Amino acid sequence: MASLPDSFLADLDELLGNEAYPDEEDERQQIWKRMVLVTFLAVNFLNMMILTLSQSFIRLNIIMTLCKLKARSYDRSEARSGLTSILAFAPVQGMELSNPLVQNDFTGRRLQGNMAARRAASSLLSRRLIPRPCAAASSTCHSAILGAATARRLLPGALQRFNTASAAVAAATEEPIQPPVDVKYTQLFINGDFVDAASGKTFPTVDPRTSEVIARVAEGDSEDIDRAVAAARRAFDEGPWPRMTAYERCRVLLRFADLIEQHAEEIAALETWDSGKTLEQTAGSEVPMVARYMRYYAGWADKIHGLVVPADGPHHVQVLHEPIGVAGQIIPWNFPLLMFAWKVGPALACGNAVVLKTAEQTPLSALFVASLLQEAGLPEGVLNVVSGFGPTAGAALSSHMGVDKLAFTGSTGTGKIVLELAARSNLKPVTLELGGKSPFIVMDDADVDQAVELAHRALFFNQGQCCCAGSRTFVHESVYDEFVEKAKARALKRVVGDPFRSGVEQGPQIDGEQFKKILRYVQSGVDSGATLVAGGDRSGSRGFYIQPTVFADVEDEMKIAQEEIFGPVQSILRFSTVEEVVRRSNASPYGLAAGVFTRRLDAANTLARALKVGSVWLNCYDVFDAAIPFGGYKMSGVGREKGAYSLRNYLQTKAVVSPIKDAAWL
């Protein structure tokens, strides 16, 4: 201590209280106290420096993630061209299978050179560098700035490369990032206003990363459905929407698409928070697709034509396509935004009014975009959004006598109930998009590395919570063993963690019920004799994260090969011939989709025509262009969504016949 300046020692003595009673302290005790305090001050200073650097690093990590996503979003002219969906997975063998959700735009060009996107990213960076204070000191505070404890926990994980299974598991145990968004709308949207439920009840919507409550949302029931249907009926029977020119309806939908893009960051963060899907997926893919779908249907609004058909006598015959009236729509929790666009877009383009029930797990994004539709100029009552539960609000909408048309996306079991309720009430027509157990077929001539990557994405995309997931991976016996080993290695490398973090591939499952259901299926696979080669357990100790799971030696009679798991569980089955794999693929009660991976054109054509499914993806998977119809055979649904085919769901066909006298021609 002798080398320290006298002034510094004096300050230490003052802090230690030695100046008041110097004679009572032994010199060694003073030296000891000085050493302790100096050490304490040095450690405290170092800790503050580390904390400051940690906060800066985490903030920069979030900023750069958002900037990359902003830079990769397409500009408005590219959106209108809509050449293909950025959800599309690696098209042909020989092409690079890097992540298409974040690296390629609609035409396959790299977005890094897009100057407009760079300017947008620069603007985003300048905004994100300015800290936003927390709005309220509560458990649902939505500050984008991380606290000290969070920064200390996050720094090690943010530096990891996640090349091993242990790293992937560690990602799910880190402190969750505070979402950079506020929850603005939690009430029901009826007749152009946000209102409380008639009962005054609310229910919690939960963050699947932590199982903590994000917000409490108004709980609609049959009385609220009555209010919403009445508003929609007035809007259709008396309001301006079906009486507008088709071109004016088109312009409203185009303005809505513009507003979606203007609020893209907020919508994406809200969707990620409420559903657990990654921010790279919502911001880089889903929100742009919603805008694209709405522009697609806006384009259809003034192109819905009737016909004039010849008759066998002196009659003039017109065939009119009229809006059907009030459409009831029930959307699922796995793709709330996209299903909103798939259903609301064609219904509004045709001139209908809508009552939409959200899933109780994910009500927030639909309420937010409903406010944007009103801002775009949609008349009051044309769109009504009711949050609530299936047995109450869902059942009331399905059986309502004032609803002219019903559309439902969800499980096959619930779809049967919806269909029965519709039939028992006013026999309203129903469109159903239901479950699946889709085969993904890898032929003997496949490039195994590419096939493994594509099969991996076909199954694990969206945490495996996808109705058309390639959940039965059929692999030819000549490449089976190699495929299994590489599928295992790919699953172990999959990064599971906070969906707001850059580089994370898999977030949590939607809720505790789904989490437990998936783990029961995993146990069933083990019990039935399948070989568990990867995963099989929860990831981390908090939230609803599940390890990417792979089973080999799966047989057709096993539960995991027959039932829809709706989770990150890949079942790999062996086959020998084309005839065999066709027979086994078609043996399922489902028929939603299929994937085929082969170099041979004859094999591709044979399988594409033989598989009893609504969509076949050849050397690609999950291509969801706005113009491509989507729906299933058998118990996977009734009718088609997207494309021109979806317009049929929301139109009535009317024949008008009148006599012709002294006709110049017939």
Residue 157 · residue 171 · CB < 8 Å: yes
Question: Rounded to whole angstroms, how far apart are CA atoms 454 and 421?
Answer: 40
Q: Which of 78, 433, 453, 505 is catalytic?
A: 433
| Residue 433 falls in the annotated catalytic set | yes
Question: Rounded to whole angstroms, how far apart are CA atoms 401 and 47?
Answer: 67
Sign of the CA dihedral running 456, 462, 463, 469: negative
Question: Rounded to whole angstroms, how far apart are CA atoms 296 and 644?
Answer: 10
Question: Rounded to whole angstroms, how far apart are CA atoms 271 and 435?
Answer: 22
Residue 503 · residue 69 · CB < 8 Å: no
Output DSSP code: residue 635.
T
Closest by alpha carbon to 179, among 447, 500, 438, 445? 500
Residue 180 · residue 134 · CB < 8 Å: no
Question: Rounded to whole angstroms, how far apart are CA atoms 393 and 377?
Answer: 27
Question: Rounded to whole angstroms, how far apart are CA atoms 31 and 606?
Answer: 88
What would the two tokens of residue 267 be? 């919508």
Q: Which of 67, 250, 350, 467 is catalytic?
A: 467
Question: Rounded to whole angstroms, how far apart are CA atoms 446 and 465?
Answer: 27
Q: Is 508 helix (H, G, I), strand (E, B) or coil?
A: coil
The b-or-e profile of 242-269 (16+ CB within 10 A means b, else e) is bebeeeebbbbbbbbbbbbbebbbbbbb
| Residue 467 falls in the annotated catalytic set | yes
Question: Rounded to whole angstroms, how far apart are CA atoms 488 and 506?
Answer: 16
Residue 459 · residue 470 · CB < 8 Å: yes
Amino acid letter, residue 55: Q
Q: Is 320 helix (H, G, I), strand (E, B) or coil?
A: strand
What would the two tokens of residue 360 be? 């109780």
Q: Which residues are catalytic?
A: 433, 467
